Amino acid sequence: MSGAEGPVTPQQRPPWDLRSSRPLPGPPPPRRGISNGAAVALGLSFGAALVVLVPLGLFAAVLLLRFVNVPPEPDGPPLVLAHSRLQGTWQDDDGGRLVLAADGTFSATDICGDYTDAVTGDSSGFGFPSTMSGTGTWESGVYASRDGATELSTEFSPGRVGGQLVARGTPDSPLLWTYVGDPDDGELCVLRKADTEP
């Protein structure tokens, strides 16, 4: 051998030669999750739950509002009044007067009430008057739907407009009353006996 040879060093590779580079990482492993079919089933279950729960929630809200916003009623329990006890003069808070005669006729002057026109179907609280004047006939009865109270029905001549009032209070302090229009509006018509009992 001629001459001394230096240590052998590996040949340097140019930067563009990628053979010496570390291999690139592969795609990440697939995530574990729900399949498309399971996602559809979950969505349908959620939708079905909404279809059932939303109406139930609205119904519960209406009931809650009904009990929270209980329409007012006059003091005293439902009352039964005999025909003879109904006879006489009744007066509302604004001075309207209803005079009930023994023969089943009446006269009214600006008396409040919840009236209905039998021909047109119009009623008080919905564009129809809530006070009436005139004459007509009246009758009374006790109805279970009124908690066993006496109901007074009035019909103004010529038999087109009528209304009902319900007895409440005590025998010594009776009153006749009704809601005017929608009960939730809280508008009451209250009549009290204005003369001595017969």
Find the CATH number of the domain harbouring 178: 2.40.128
Q: Taking residues 155-169, report their average pLDDT.
A: 94
Give dist(CA 36, CA 54) in Å, integer. 27
Same structural domain, 53 and 145: no
Residue 123: its pLDDT value, please?
Answer: 94
Q: Mind listing the pLDDT tens digit for each residue in 52-62?
A: 777 776 766 55
pLDDT bin (cut points 50, 70, 90) of residue 165 is very high
Please state the domain count of the chain: 2
Q: Mind listing the pLDDT tens digit for each residue in 83-138?
A: 999 999 999 999 999 999 999 999 999 999 999 999 999 999 898 999 999 999 99
Note if the pTM is more than 0.75: no
Same structural domain, 126 and 61: no
- Six-digit token pair at 63? 């009931």
Alpha-helix residue ranges (DSSP H) falling in the chain:
36-68, 83-86
Question: What average pLDDT is seen over the chain?
Answer: 82
Residue 146 has pLDDT above 60, yes or no: yes
Residue 25: inside a domain: no
Residue 43: its pLDDT value, please?
Answer: 73
Residue 69 has pLDDT above 80, yes or no: no
- Six-digit token pair at 29? 């492993």
Which residues have C-beta within 8 Å of that of residue 111, sequence separation ≥ 6?
A: 90, 92, 96, 97, 98, 131, 132, 133, 191
Q: Mind listing the pLDDT tens digit for each residue in 2-27?
A: 555 556 555 666 666 555 556 556 66
Which residues have C-beta within 8 Å of that of residue 19, sequence separation ≥ 6?
A: 13
Residue 71 has pLDDT above 80, yes or no: no
144 class by beta-carbon count within 10 Å (0-12 exposed, 13-18 middle, 19+ buried)? exposed
- The least confident of 44-48, 88-92, 169-173 is 44-48
CB 180 within 8 Å of CB 114: yes
CB 90 within 8 Å of CB 195: no
CB 44 within 8 Å of CB 51: no
Same structural domain, 96 and 172: yes
Same structural domain, 107 and 46: no
Same structural domain, 92 and 177: yes
Residue 74 has pLDDT above 60, yes or no: yes
Same structural domain, 65 and 97: no
Sign, CA torsion 29/34/40/44:
negative
- Six-digit token pair at 59? 């119904």
Residue 198: its pLDDT value, please?
Answer: 44
